[in-house]
């Protein structure tokens, strides 16, 4: 993973716009959050290979970044994105890692299922 370059992410969001794409969206505190710190709530959610089509998609912020996709009937939103795979040319694999390197949020888009 490399630090996100927003201008390149934007190009890919533009390229995938209007087409049926597969989305992986995830956020997690880690399964042991409450064990490590009792004031923390262990929580996570993910949806994998959800089919979406968006009419507007952009990346915002100065880093960490946000991505918002306006779909036909709603929105897809992710905040806290820090890293992505720069060598991926046909799909977006992005995530937000905390200062220990642990994944907190993931955002992935592809024409093929993950």
Partner 1 sequence: MEPNTILVVLPHPDDEGIIAGTLIQYAKQGAEITYICLTLGEMGRNLGMPPFANRVTLPEIRRQELHACCGIIGIQQVESWGLMDKTVEFEDQELWIQRIMDKMKELKPSLVLTFYPGHGVHPDHDAAGRMTIEAMRRLSPEERPVVHGIAMTAHAKDLLGPADVVHDVTAYVEQKIRAIQAHKSQFQLLIGNGSFEDPKRLAHYRTERLWTYRFDD
Residue 23 is a binding residue for partner 1 (CB under 8 A) = no
Backbone phi, psi, residue 25, to 5°:
-130, 135
**Residue 34, helix vs strand vs coil:** helix
Residue 15 is a binding residue for partner 1 (CB under 8 A) = no
- Shortest approach of partner 1 to residue 85 CB, angstroms? 6
Measured between alpha carbons, how far is residue 32 from residues 29, 41, 42, 100 in Å? Answer: 8, 9, 7, 15
Nearer to partner 1, 20 or 101 (CB): 101
- Shortest approach of partner 1 to residue 55 CB, angstroms? 26
Tokens of 109: 């888009």
Burial degree of 81 (CB within 10 A; 0-12, 13-18, 19+): buried
Candidates 13, 69, 106, 109: give the one binding partner 1 (CB under 8 A). 106
Residue 46 is a binding residue for partner 1 (CB under 8 A) = yes
Contact footprint for partner 1 (CB under 8 A)? 1, 24, 26, 28, 30-32, 35, 44, 46, 83, 85, 93, 95, 97, 100-104, 106, 108, 114
């Amino acid at each position: 993973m490399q630090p996100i370059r927003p201008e390149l992410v934007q190009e890919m969001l533009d390229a995938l716009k209007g087409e049926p794409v597969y989305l992986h969206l995830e956020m997690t505190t880690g399964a042991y959050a409450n064990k490590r710190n009792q004031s923390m709530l262990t929580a996570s959610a993910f949806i994998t290979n959800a089919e979406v089509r968006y009419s507007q998609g952009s990346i915002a912020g100065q880093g960490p970044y946000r991505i918002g996709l306006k779909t036909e009937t709603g929105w897809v939103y992710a905040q806290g994105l820090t890293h992505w795979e720069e060598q991926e040319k046909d799909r977006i694999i992005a995530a937000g890692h905390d200062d220990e390197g642990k994944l907190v949020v993931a955002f992935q888009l592809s024409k093929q299922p993950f």
